[in-house]
Structures are given as C-alpha cells and as structure tokens.
Amino acid sequence: MTIQWFPGHMTKALRMMEENVKIVDAIGYVLDARAPASCFNPSFNKIVGNKPCVFILNKCDLADAAKIEEWCKYFRLNNLHFIKVTATASSEAAKISSAFAEITSDLRERYKSKGVFKPVRCLIIGVPNCGKSTLINCLSGRKTVITGDKPGVTKGKQWVRLQSGLELLDTPGTLWPKFENEQIASRLCFIGSIKDDVVDLYEVSNLLLSELSNQYPQYLTQRYKISLENKDVAEIFENIAVKRGFLLRGGEIDYERCAKAILDDFRKGKLGKITLDLPKDII
C-alpha cells in the first residue's frame, strides 16, 4: 500500500517554522514513544540546525518500557538531551520545565550577568498527533491550546507564556512531502499521524496485525482470545472479527468496523504497552 499525505497547510507550517526558528532559543522535539524513529521528520533537520534541543518521548504510558530504555541509551550515547513523559499527566510539568531550563541554562546565565530579564523562547515541533499541544497544556496547567486525538487540530502558530517566563510556540503537526519508506508511513498511520480518511483502514489494520504478530503475538492472543498458529494476517483479521461479533447480516464480516476497532485498541493501549521502532530504524 502506497501512503502519501501532505496537505497544503503543512507547507505553510514548515515555512512558518523556518521563519520563527530565528527568534527562538531552543527546540522541543516531540516523539511518540510507540514509534519514535518514524517521528523523525527529515524536513525538521534544517529547522533544528544547531539550536539547543530536547527530544521528548511522549505517550510513555502506552509504550514498551524495555524498548524505551533502548532509546534512552541511544540518546545518551549521542549526547542528546531527552526526557520520557506522559504529557496527559499534570505531574510531568516539572520534569518538562526542568528539561527546557537545562538546555537554556547558558543563555539564561548570560542574560542574568547583564542584568537583563528576557523570556526564553522554545519552538515545539513534531509530527501530527504526537502530543505537542497536550504537552504545552501540561506545562501551563490549563487548556491553553486546542488538542485532539487526530491529526490536523493545530492549524497555525500559538505562543503560550508560562509563569516561569518560558514562552512556547506551538506549531501544526507536520509530515514531509514524500515517504520513501513504507514501513515508516504505515507506522505513522498506526499512531494516528496520518488521517484515517486518506487510507484504506482494512489494509492499515492488516499491516498493524502483521507487525504485532511478529513483535507482540501474546498481546493479540490475550486481547482477542484467538490462536495465531499457522494463520496468515487475513485469517487473523477474520478470526478477530468473528470473536468480536463484527458481522453483517448473513454472517459476512464487517471489515470497516473490525479495522477501526483494531486500530482503536492499539491507539488506546488496550492491546498492551507497545513500541514498534528501535534506534536502528532511524533513516
């Protein structure tokens, strides 16, 4: 399945980021902990440049702790600043604030030595639906920016000033013009970074089942009470549909309903704590 999705507002968003990065002091790069490698947007390389940057592994409550530790090792080995968070938890605000304070400490010291108070500005970037706006709301302690569990909720830039003096610029979730790697494209579909409306959900759910049957077969058997032995993906899908009662009149399978349910189970963590990417998958 060929997946491509790059609506016009993303071109504008990239342009806006390139313009505004000149006036910010640091960058918060948000990655979905279920597929961190797939969340590395090659279009962001120019934007990040040499700016101080903290990589924020978000949605860790839905992710595989052992694989996240592999990501932590990767960031440490490459001397990259990072934190692990679940931005929906208000208790994470202090950890996130400390990360931004750490990467901008030299700058703040320079301001202090000159007797100047100047807010530290940070640009928040990431692919759609990775939790940028949720992270900003976590820091501000209120619903400052609009959030949603689908891509494309944030349409333009939004400045948010915190009591600490930190100023955050929320930006629209942005992909890149062409996916050269179909595995990355499919994993972005799984985590909801690509709109369900523009893909064949039956094909996407089958791709997800294929990955899960290889990486986390026990979660499929536990959730759906089925056997995977000697079954291909299509048979696994049909077994799930029958077990869950996703049938039309006459006993035919309701493919759309079953596909949506499988993706929903994954996205809401009902299958288990899953991380599909490892650092070796970074392109």
How does pLDDT run across 203-229, given as a tens digit for each residue?
999 999 999 999 999 999 999 999 999
Scanning the structure block, which residue is given the tokens 């915190």?
A: 162
The CATH number of residue 248's host domain is 1.10.1580.10
Same domain, residue pair 240 and 129: no
Q: What total number of domains does the chain contain?
A: 2
Give yes or no: residues 156 and 248 share one domain: no
- The answer on 244 and 165 residing in a single domain is no
Q: How far is CA 227 from CA 2, 8, 207, 222, 265, in A?
A: 30, 44, 18, 9, 18
User: Block means of pLDDT (10 residues each) for the chain, length 283 residues?
Assistant: 78 90 94 98 93 97 98 97 94 90 86 80 94 89 55 59 81 89 95 95 97 97 96 97 94 96 98 97 86
- Contacts of residue 191, defined as CB under 8 A and 6 or more positions apart, other chains included, come to 32, 34, 35, 38, 129, 130, 267
180 assigned to some structural domain: no
Do residues 237 and 97 both lie within one domain? no
**114, part of any domain:** yes
Identify whether residues 163 and 205 lie together within a single domain.
no
Q: Two tokens at 228?
A: 């995977």
13, 115: one domain: yes
Same domain, 117 and 208: no
Residue 240's domain comprises 200-281
Inter-CA distances, 137 with 82, 134, 171, Å: 19, 5, 13
| CATH number of the domain residue 23 falls in | 3.40.50.300
